[in-house]
Amino acid sequence: MARLFGTDGVRGRANDQLTPELALALASAAVSVLGAHTQTRPRVVVGRDPRASGELLEAALCAGLAAAGADAIRVGVVPTPAVAFLTADYRADFGVMISASHNPMPDNGIKFFAAGGHKLADDVEDQIEAAMEAEQVRPIGAAVGRIVDATDAADRYLEHLAQAVPSSLEGLTLVVDCAHGAASVVGPRAYEAAGAKVIAIHADPDGLNINDDCGSTHMDKLQAAVLQHGADLGLAHDGDADRCLAVDSTGAIVDGDMIMAVLALAMHESGDLTDDVLVATVMSNLGLHLAMKAAGIELKVTGVGDRYVLEELRAGGYALGGEQSGHIVIPAVGTTGDGVLTGLLLASRVASTGKRLAELAGVMTVLPQELINVPVSDKHAVSAAATVLAAVAEAETELDGQGRILLRPSGTEQLVRVMVEAQTPESARGIAERVAAVVANV
């Protein structure tokens, strides 16, 4: 049987693959694993993004928690990082976020956080899956769990964000694209509380419009709004607000790599960048590597996925890491990626230096990148084929240190991804197409 948990919790089309019955079973199993060591009744934080199916999944999860003897603390519509923070702040035994992040509305997902707000290790997820198959004795009477609403959840999270902002945003005008998602309420409030003038767009969720042609996966409307309002910068979040991408005052996109470069240099200057190390994935642009090397900062590289970034950050005690997609992690102030926090810190850097975002992001020159997804029958066998390895080696020789090629099997589909960075778009495209043709013919 296929593993239930994927790279970021359990996801699927809501009420189809991800049913209320599955949510109830997951919740009860999670109590038996994550609440097993508590001396009192387990307490669980439950949050969600605004998509309509979140309502029925929240009801099912809370029912499953209560049926297993745990108290559910409903925090309502909040960002994923808020659930991680509140799990620690309420001293709960674990937390649950109902969201499919940047995925379209019909999808949804269930993500667990351990005590303290940390993501679960693979083996703990496996224990939860195994517990779903075991017969469980349900409590009765006073031992049945209760469900309560936390009316101060958003305020607690906003206070946490306020304490993390190093300088006022007074004088800045921000356009914030909330993706009709979980940032729609707390995002604008956080930026305004820090002193900025905020123009919020796509901040009217109706349960159906989350990520619909807006947010961090559709940046064109934010670019237009920044130019229209003459804003200092724009910030784009995804559906659950754990990511942040930016737009500078000229309308140019500032991606996660460039944001990491700006924040790494700021932390390097202040002495807060532990061991002068930045953690990023193999998908980060070569331009980030070159910029960090020039600044005397070591770039440690992980596999694709925020969980691998988190593992490296925790293992080395490092202070900053993230992904090109805008998922940035700063362990000193959060246990997972926090898009609103990232936006606050980026805007704070603009305010404190008096420099435009374009100038700050200009420390990194993005090399042209070409990515081709090649459908195959066996992604692992194809990736290891002799002809493919030879084609990659030939490409590396041609690039001669002035670019790079990355070939990797997809984590979720029968695809081999061919990514090439080179000095010109034409060179990147030509090499990528040539290697992709070899992959397709294996």
Most distant pair of Cα atoms in the chain: their distance: 72
240 is in an annotated binding site: yes
352 is in an annotated binding site: no
Q: Does the annotation count 410 as an active-site position?
A: no
Rounded to whole angstroms, how far apart are CA atoms 260 and 39?
A: 42
149 is in an annotated binding site: no
Q: What Rg, from alpha-carbon coordinates, does the chain have? A: 22
Active-site option among 28, 32, 53, 101: 101
232 is in an annotated binding site: no
Q: CB-based contacts of 128: which residues, under 8 Å, 6+ apart?
A: 5, 26, 29, 30, 33, 34, 112, 120
Two tokens, residue 437: 């043709």
Rounded to whole angstroms, how far apart are CA atoms 401 and 359?
A: 27
Residue 372 CA neighbour count, 13 Å, CB half:
19
Distances (CA, A) of 79 to 17, 21, 126, 280: 23, 24, 26, 23
* Residue (of 177, 60, 154) closest to 108 by Cα position: 60
Report the alpha-carbon angle 120-121-122, nearest 5: 115
Cα of first residue to Cα of last residue in the chain, in angstroms, is 28
Task: Please identify every residue annotated as catalytic.
Answer: 101
Q: Detail the residues annotated as belonging to a binding site for Mg(2+).
A: 101, 238, 240, 242
